[in-house]
Structure 1
Amino acid sequence: MNYTKNSFFLFIALCFCLSLTSAMAQTAPPVTVKSEEVSDGQLHEMAQKARESGMSDEQVKQQALKKGMSPNEVNKLQDRMNVIKNQSNKETESIKKDKNGREIAGDNEKQDDPENGDKNSSGGGGKGGIGSNIFGYELFNNNNLTFEPNLRIPTPRNYRLGPDDQLIINVYGNSQVDWRLNISPDGNIQIPGIGLVNVIGKTIEQATSLIESKLKANRYAIGNGTNVSVSLGNIRSIKIIIVGEVNRPGTYTLSSLSTVFNALYASGGPNINGSFREIEVIRNNMIVRKLDVYDFLLQADQKDNIKLEDGDIVRVPTYKVHVSVDGEVKRKQIFEVLPGETLNDVIKFAGGFSDEAYTATIKATQLTAQDLKIVDIKKPDFGNYVPLRGDKYFIDRILNSYQNRVSIYGAVVRPGQFELDNGLTLTGLINKAAGLKPDVFSSRGFISRFKNDNTSELLSFDIKEIIAKKSPDIILKREDLVTIVSIFDLRDKYTVTISGEVRNPGEFIYASDMKVGDLIVNAGGLTEGASNKRISVSRRVNDSDPSLSNSRVAEVFSLNVGSNFKDGESNFVLMPYDIVSVYALPGYEKQKIVKVEGEVIYPGYYTIQKKNEKISDIVSRAGGLTASADVDGSNLKRDNAAVLGVDRTKSSIDTNSLLQERSDRLKRLQLTYNDSSLQQESQIRNNFVGINLKEILKQPGVGEDLILEDGDVLRVPKSQQTVRVNGQVLFPSVVVYSNGKSFKEYVLNAGGFSAQALKRGAYIVHSNGTVQSTSKFLFFRFHPKVKPGSEIFVPKKQDPKGNITQEILGYTTGFVSLGAIILGILSLKR
């Protein structure tokens, strides 16, 4: 039984109602039974009685309704049973279920679950064990194949009636009657007004005839305007016994429509020792049928899958012969063989050979009294070989080789593999390959061939001589590989190169009779600034005299190709490896842009008008300086002195704040100063050119008045009133500029030097981009003068490890120098 089915809950409730009211039926009128009056213990007790009673749901329902149980109360009991089912461990332990949800009754509770492996039973074969490799084992352990009987089909005509079956008798026509009658344990039905009719053991047809005769005898006009229909209502349950080599032997309660397959499925099917081919159905101590599961698996034949009757015994004996098949077959499993079957039958069980199976011989491993032996079974003996217990058959794969293949590759029209005909020669194979290509190297070809000892040898031949029949043709052998060489395989790849003022410069494949005009067109044509009157072609020389120091290493031709690449020297024929150079027009110049920003009258972008246009000229074109301009702090940014690796086009357009750029640069400089390895990997440069704009404007065209270049940025800041102090000071800050204040005073305004400060390495970055460092003479340090807008930077000390020697050397040098000066002064006095 299954607690998940609503009919089972109804069955329990009705059974309880029946037992509760049976004692009161004769002495008191019907009463309504309340679901609240039924305890959980009583529900469990009624469930047990329901399983033992064998009564159908309809019978219990009819009696319960007569006793006073309302349908509403039945629904309430169903809800309670749903809760009890989920919470009661005792109930779930008393009713075991296998992995397919089938109930295991009675003796089956002690059987091992095949899902976890049957360790204690000879019928084991859990998931992934030997059982799963036995042909047919998964049939009864498959969640998608339940073999449940169909209860909605018309009543089978050969169905034998028995106790607890329900007959539906419908009389229609002149007389109309509808009876639902249950067959008693004695085999009788009680027809109202007629009496008992014994129908046990009869088919539906026989029962219909008997009922018609009884109705006729009681004045029903059967056949004269009145008809009778007899069908089966509720189907009874039967008890069958499953014994032998099954996973869960025991007694099972099944539907009376159940077949042998239904019973086997309920028991988990044969175990690893069970026979799938000689399953017996025993009825009244006689074997009434033997079932071969292979008939169903291989031919979908269910002729022996008979319907079971109450009290039937299904017996699964042990197998007699098991053999296994592996290798190139469609089913690699263990098969059961019956007496009289041969190796051919085993191959059929395995689904036949695979496409690549070697079918001439099957290797069989046999068991002897003491050890194993191998037997080679030839194909003609497949039908005569009788499989023995424990035989293991292995079907090998065909060899990965060809018995009639020759191959040809290289300078032929259709290279590939071909059939080796009788007496096929080299010229015959070339004809099969659609002949030779024009680029064939006809002086020599090769045949790679296996010798008798399986070593390879290389045979060379002259194609031209063989085709002209001046040399004997070569007869080919199995697995010969013919190689016909192309002339292109024996030389470098021919190319020509074009560079300069063309749209797509680069390397191109050389073609015979290629001209300069052809190459220029292939390269996308000339650019706007290209000169078609001066194009040079450089060519390799093969006759250079190595004894002369001035011998030629290349031959250069100067060409005028014209405007349409048709006439004149555009038809100059190129040779392999020529290099064509296209030059620009002498007076062609692309516009060059500079930017002026900051404190000028008209800041913005300006185009350089003359090659020698200078800073003073661009300032004049920008309208001159404003009243708030800081002339001393003006700077020129030029990318050709910028940080290595910076995109010049971006730098010429992106002109962020000078202070931010200087701050970033100082950080990089400090990082580089303190890490010599990083300094070697990434060289940091100042991209600001230190200029003195005041002197430039005083004397235009001389001194520092630089000629402008494309992408230059001239920036004139506002007058600066602060000085930045950064690096190894106690409190990096911005200090107000004061005329006359010294370097140390600005450092003191930032808290003074920190313990890690490298005082001698302190330097100043002025607002115009120039950098001044601290100088030293003997024991005296001279700091640079601080200007408005400057930035003082104090670097960090290096690791003293490894620098002690340098310090000592520096001090020693200083003392020696001082001594030399003193001696010089003394000598002068003398």
Structure 2
Amino acid sequence: MPNSLLRRLNLALAGGLLASACGLAQGTTPTGSPSPAAALTPVAAQAVHHQANAQSDVFGAQLFTGAFANAGATPFNPDYLIATGDTVQVRLWGAFSFDAPLTVDPQGNIFLPHVGPVQVRGTRNAELQERIETAVRRTFRTNVSSYASLAAAQPVRVFVSGNVNRPGLYGGTSMDSLLHYLDQAGGIDPARGSFLAVQVKRGNAVRASFNLYDFLTRGRMPLLQLADGDVIFVPPRQGTVRVSGLAQNARRFEFANDGAAPTVASLAELAKPMAQATHVRVVRNTGTVRNTEYYPLSEAAGVTLQSGDELEFTADKKPGTITVRVEGEHTSPQEYVLPYGTRLGALLGQIQLTPDAEAQSVQLFRQSVRQRQKEMLETSLRSLEAALLTARSGSSDEARLRKDEAELTLQWVDRARRVEPLGQVVIAQSGQREDMLLENGDVLRIPRKDGLVLVSGEVLFPNAVAYEPGLSLQDYIGRAGGYTQTADNSRVVIARRDGSFEQTDIRRLNAGLAVRPGDQVLVLPKVDEKRRQFWKDMTQIIYQIAVSAKIVFGL
């Protein structure tokens, strides 16, 4: 199987696995069949869920990517209450020396030599030192100093239930955070679980409820001491609104269904619109018909939202100025900040050319043109790729030949995708050049009269040849060593400095096609139509690359 095709199949399988992981419920798919993650080992399934969380558009899902599952217990929580099974490190020095870890027994005591049992269960971590010191002084009034610290909290096993990816019983310590246990369970299911009201239950009582948005937006995470058998329960997700466009947090946000409908202002606090955003588009979830509302940000603060609505922050204003860069043979500034709507003639009138400048071959490079050239090349490559992957064979021998051909051609397609077009606009021959509107980011290049002709592509010695008026196109190719064995000498492209192109073939080499100083001669490679089923498509793409990028892309 071709390497490129194998990579695509692997990506498709991985994408399907992650998509299924996002919608898992108790290890099954929405249709009730076993999910792919259910068949994996616990560690592998956890990794699948963590990767799916990292790619989710739900605000808060990125919390559960393994960072909290691998973290250790909080080293010091001043409000932690010492419990049975905890380990306390006690050191005595002076007239009497002692240094050992002591475990809190079922009666809640630790036993100190010559002091006896000391009740520590229920003592705040911040008050542990004072409790031990008081007990020691009752026996050793002088010459004995003491120091005590919590060495290790008791191990506990906590149930994680509700709308999480992998409900179960997970181990840790009583000092581990709520996020540690949720992360071990694969995190909150982005499609079903709520981030606003995560509950910690002990028996039938709800000990605490956590809003994870407070942690994400304000850094607030109350520390809660968990005990063996506690239950972390994630209730069903509440209302949601999706935010896109010019926002730092373009995510899907949850809001509480408590009667207070969210507004654009409350969502903006979470989404953080960018400075250039001026308007907001609200697409209402009204069933089969989707209604759109459009507001300036100054008027949208009080607009109420409903579950399923979509917000898009946009920039709806015309730019006041544009920036154009001028390169090459001139003595003027290289960066021009011009009013929006400035035409090319107005800029050319401000440029002072050097004596060596070739004014008739002014070059314009535009980002939008470059993008369109890239898109057209990608369309051609996708068409060729689809034809390769769907071609049928009439026999086993033909199938083997097709396989070899497809493998080589797909490798060629991958290399062709990395070609970057120049985005050059042909303006030198336009009679309306002076009236052309400039765009932000345009680059104007004034070439220099160098008197050279560049010959490249399928020639033996690609090189720059000094221009001579009496030489023909065939002469310049001959001075570059002549054609290679893979050259298509019936397809020669001359790239003019002004961005225009001329193509010729062997029957026209002596038909008066002039070569000018600064031209680039591109000899295209030959595609063997007997061996390549898709030679016409490949020939067209080779020519397209030569025109847009001024390079010869061989096989």
Q: Which has the higher contact order (CA 8 A, sep 6+)?
A: 2
TM-score if structure 1 supplies the norm length?
0.34
The TM-score with structure 2 as length reference comes to 0.48
